[in-house]
Each structure stands twice: as C-alpha cells, then as structure tokens.
C-alpha cells in the first residue's frame, strides 16, 4: 500500500510540468503509461493526465469499461 501512496504523490506533482518530464518520471518510477492525443493514461492508477500546449493542466480519474 505504501508503494501506491508514493505513486500518488509522484503523480500529484505533475501539474504544471511538460509531457516529456511526466513520461520520464513515470518510467523511472516503474509506472506504466499510455500516451495518446492530449492525454497520458496511467492504467494502474486509473488516471488521465491532461495536457494543453504540452503542459499538464489537470489530473482526472476514469473507470475501466466493462
């Protein structure tokens, strides 16, 4: 559970950072991500990082489709 808490803290710090920084930091932390369009999905956390002009402007939760 502590690992999940650490991952959440890392992800919360992404607001305001560029897409490359977010991808690099996720990779170094061993967190899988999927880049597409203006989003960066983090399946293990069910989160989307939302980018505008290559800068993270929001973090949204999503649910897996059945």
What pLDDT band is residue 1 in, cutting at 50, 70 and 90? very low
CA distances from 35 to 1, 9, 22 (A): 26, 20, 11
pTM summary value? 0.77
Distance, in Å, from the CA atom of 14 to the CA atom of 60, rounded to the nearest integer, reads 12
Query: What are the residue ranges spanned by the domains of the chain?
Result: 2-61
> Which pLDDT belongs to residue 63?
79
């Amino acid at each position: 559970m502590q690992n999940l808490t650490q991952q959440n803290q890392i992800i919360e710090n992404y607001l305001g950072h560029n897409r490359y920084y977010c991808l690099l930091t996720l990779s170094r932390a061993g967190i899988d991500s999927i880049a597409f369009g203006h989003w960066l999905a983090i399946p293990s956390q069910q989160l989307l990082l939302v980018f505008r002009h290559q800068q993270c402007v929001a973090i949204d939760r999503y649910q897996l489709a059945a």
